[in-house]
Amino acid sequence: MRRLIILLFKRQSHFSSNRWILLLLLTLGFTAGWKCAQASTSPNAPPELNNLLTQIDTAANQRNVKGVMQFYSPNFTHGDGLNYQSMEQALNTLWKQYPQLKYSTQLQSWKPQGNVIVADTVTKITGLPSPNNNNMALSATITSRQQISGGKVVRQDILSERTQVTAGSQPPQIDFKLPQQVKVGQQYSFDAIVQEPLGEDYILGTALEEPIKANKYLSPTPVDLELLSSGGIFKVGKAPLTPGSQWVSAVIMRGDGMTMITQRMQVVTK
Tens-place pLDDT, residues 224-268: 888 997 889 999 999 999 999 999 999 999 888 999 999 999 999
Q: Please, are residues 251 and 222 in contact by the beta-carbon 8 Å criterion?
A: no
Q: Taking the domains of the chain in order of start, what are their residue ranges?
A: 2-268
Distance CA 101, CA 138 (A): 8
Q: Please, are residues 110 and 124 in contact by the beta-carbon 8 Å criterion?
A: no
Which region among 155-169, 182-196, 221-235 has the lowest average model confidence (pLDDT)? 221-235
Domain range 2-268, CATH class: alpha beta
| Model pTM score | 0.80
Q: Is the dihedral of CA 12, 13, 14, 16 positive or negative?
A: positive
Contacts with 85 (C-beta within 8 Å, 6 or more apart), sequence order: none
**What per-residue confidence (pLDDT) applies to 158?**
93
User: What is the pLDDT of the chain when averaged over all its residues?
Assistant: 79
Q: Please, are residues 163 and 262 in contact by the beta-carbon 8 Å criterion?
A: yes
For residues 192-212, give the mean pLDDT. Answer: 87
Query: In terms of pLDDT, which residue wins out, 68 or 185?
Result: 185
Distance CA 137, CA 258 (A): 10
With vertex at residue 104, the alpha carbon angle to CA 195 and CA 80, rounded to the nearest 5 degrees, is 80
**What per-residue confidence (pLDDT) applies to 13?**
44
